[in-house]
Amino acid sequence: MKKILSKQSNFWLSKSHLYSKKKSNSFFKWKIFYGCPFFKKILKKTNPKTIMEIGTNIGINLHYIRKIDYQKKIKIDAIEVNKKICDQLKKNKKLKINCVINEDILNYSGNKKYDLVFTKGLLIHIDPKNLNKVINKIIKMSKKYILIIEYFSHKPTSIKNYRGKKDLLFKRDFGKLFLKKNLKCIDYGFLWKEKELVFDNLNWWIFKKT
C-alpha cells in the first residue's frame, strides 16, 4: 500500500537540488570547523555510543560529529525522506553511517533505541497537527538523551512565505512541548549567527529521560 506523505515531506522530496553535492562540498571546504565546538559540548554532556539523527539532509551535522569522533567509535543511524540523498549518504565513507533509513518520520515504525536522538531544523517543518505524534516517536527512540535544535517563537507561528510557499515552516517554543512529556531539561542555549557562523539563530535543548 502506498504511504501517504504530508505536504511538507512531498516538498522536500521534490527539492533534491537543495541538498546538492556541490553545495555540500563548498560548505565543508571552509566551514566544517565552526560547527564542531557546539557538537563537542553536546557529545561531552551525553557521551553517546549510538546516535540517531532524524532529517539528516546532506549530513552536515554528522560531519561535525565525525570530525570530533574521528575514530568513528559512535554508531550512527539516520532518517532522511529524500531517496537521492539517502543514496549519497550510504556512499559517504567519511560519515560511516551504520544505517540510512529512507523514510518520512511520520511513517517510521522502527523500534530501535539510541543513546542520543537529535533533530536540527526538522520540527519546524512538521505540520502542527502532526507535531505531537512526531515528538512521541522521538522520545520512544531515545534510551536517554534528546537534542532539539530549532527556530523559536513565544507563540506558535506559521511562516507565510517559505521558499515561495505557505505552511512549510512553523516556529514555536518546542522545548516547552518536550517538558510536558515528563523529560528533564539538562541544558539549553542559543546559537547566535553573529558568533556561531554556521548556525542560523537557533535555540537548542538537551532533554534526559527520567
- Domain assignment present for residue 95? The answer is yes
- Domain assignment present for residue 14? The answer is no
- How high is the pLDDT of residue 22? 46
Specify the CATH number for the domain of residue 141.
3.40.50.150
CA 122 – CA 108 distance, rounded (Å): 15
- Domain assignment present for residue 34? The answer is no
In this predicted model, which residue has the larger pLDDT, 55 or 162?
55
- Domain assignment present for residue 22? The answer is no
List pLDDT tens digits, range 60-111.
Answer: 899 999 999 999 999 999 999 999 899 999 999 999 999 999 999 999 999 9
- Domain assignment present for residue 99? The answer is yes
List pLDDT tens digits, range 2-40.
Answer: 465 566 666 656 555 455 554 544 555 556 678 899 999
- Domain assignment present for residue 150? The answer is yes
- How high is the pLDDT of residue 198? 85
- Domain assignment present for residue 32? The answer is no
Distances 12 to 8, 15, 36, 170 between C-alpha atoms, Å: 7, 5, 26, 15
- Domain assignment present for residue 3? The answer is no
Confidence of residue 168 (pLDDT cuts 50, 70, 90): confident
Q: Percent of the chain, pLDDT > 90?
A: 70
Confidence of residue 141 (pLDDT cuts 50, 70, 90): very high
pLDDT surpasses 70 at 117: yes
Residue 58: closest CA among 39, 31, 37, 84: 84
- Show the domain range for 142: 39-209
Sign of CA dihedral 140, 141, 144, 146: negative
pTM here is 0.89
| Total domains present in the chain | 1
- How high is the pLDDT of residue 13? 61
